[in-house]
Structure 1
């Protein structure tokens, strides 16, 4: 199969990749692509094929098995976690972490989520100009506060994580990425030692204490797990909230329908996740042997990228997929992944999204996009789907 050079899609691909994914799907669910930098991979854009790829035993998540794809990236405990592991190691790590990341612990955060949301909206309401960047005012500080509270990260130490996280999800250079990982590892090493000496009622302390048949997380595994939870725990929710609010503001009839019936909220959040979810593509997988997917033969050692965004606009699974409809039944979307790597923090992200969006719309009934703001700037790359700012007025 010839390789498709997606550099021809620039510069508007980041702004709206969905028409390009639609064209690819029309030609088939799996394609060989060439990136602007010259690297190649298989891209999966069909919904059913994406589900198969996300659970395929011959597709590895362990980046250490990939030669040539991460040249220059220095291994660090912060990039050694269950998201980039395969069974049986992944099974072991997830089992240990799930013991601390329980539904009861997540539900116990509900009052904090509501209180933090109310405090942030109170600050927003105090602005004399009635204008703000909703990401800086709500979408970022809410999940960062919650995930830091969950893990027991001190208040004064939260700012660096935004910089480290941005570099991980949208890398600039291998050197900068390695530096961010090293700085995060050093900080988390110190935090974990503090927790060992003075444990608290937080997830990090629980992970340190967790044992299963004599097994426990090693120091490096604790660092990797903490970094994964911090990054995934806030990046996903930041863009769930901001992308969801953008979709509502861009579709006034849907917004009016939600305001008129809050019983639609849960389904509306699921539609936000399907329509323009916070994760555009799953992290890269690698073929461990010759593999056939959707009739396409892949050689061992090749990269495979599953487009969650492309799959969730597949008309074979979702009729009229480019229509934003909060009354749709979008069950089966892949915004949080599928299979053994399904997002462990999905219940927390959903809860934060529901509370933040309802509270925002109730507090500001005339919320609208700021007409004086420039065009949105989208995050680079195809991992995280979101904008750098969301100017609004009321």
Structure 2
């Protein structure tokens, strides 16, 4: 075993998660275009394609470059955020378009002008982003047709609309409500495109918390990211449980005082994300009642509770598996994932898009 801390992938759980979601999406009559910003790893991308994914979603041009370079064939990539295309970014996108089928996003006429100035003759296709309730990027659904028409007049091929129901990350009915608002927004946006003479062949949405509610009809594809690994957020949301967690930070107990222990995996390994609705800085895979109550750069403080049997509290030298709150940020902190196979063998999987933030 490598020195702790490190991020380990249980390949049996990983493959089960990939198969489960692929079958669910296929049964719903949808295309699966998973978001590779979660794993940033060529080995996992290949497994997703092999399980039926039609292509990959990425967050940045840098991620697209990494996966295009790693693809054994012509990659099919969607950069799912509105880009402000400078000449430098335009040159990178033109080079990408020669090696991959490339989709990009717009949510303003000004952004479409920037895009068209660099990419109008490259075969790159365009989706208009609409805001379905997260209130981050995206145009109001009723205005999607206006943006699409502006892009088309500039020589861009507009093929549809997309949204991200990120406000589904919440307790109670947040997941279902966000999925319903996604359908409403995409329905209105699609009609807006049709009113402007553009058929929205692609109507893209979905996230790991909301795909349980996705149905064919308005949606044509979904773009979940976290599902290969799952994380503490998914466990607490109810969109997964500990048996579905495939990535953990393997760490060593370095200190114990009563029911409180400290491990050698801090924010520089598991990330520092802690939404207000989660119950700690992460969870323990094999100790569901324990909570991470303190986090520094290289250590996590874990409270087992005063009522925990003394023999259940690990002593220094014990190895614990920490489930990060947000697996995407944890993966971006390491150079390699340690893949653990059912026969006990291991393999290093490079995180090829680590730090590809532009």
Between Structure 1 and Structure 2, the one with more helix by share is: 1
Same fold per superposition (TM over 0.5): no
Between Structure 1 and Structure 2, the one with more strand by share is: 2
Higher relative contact order (CA 8 A, sep 6+): 1
The normalised TM-score by structure 2 is 0.26
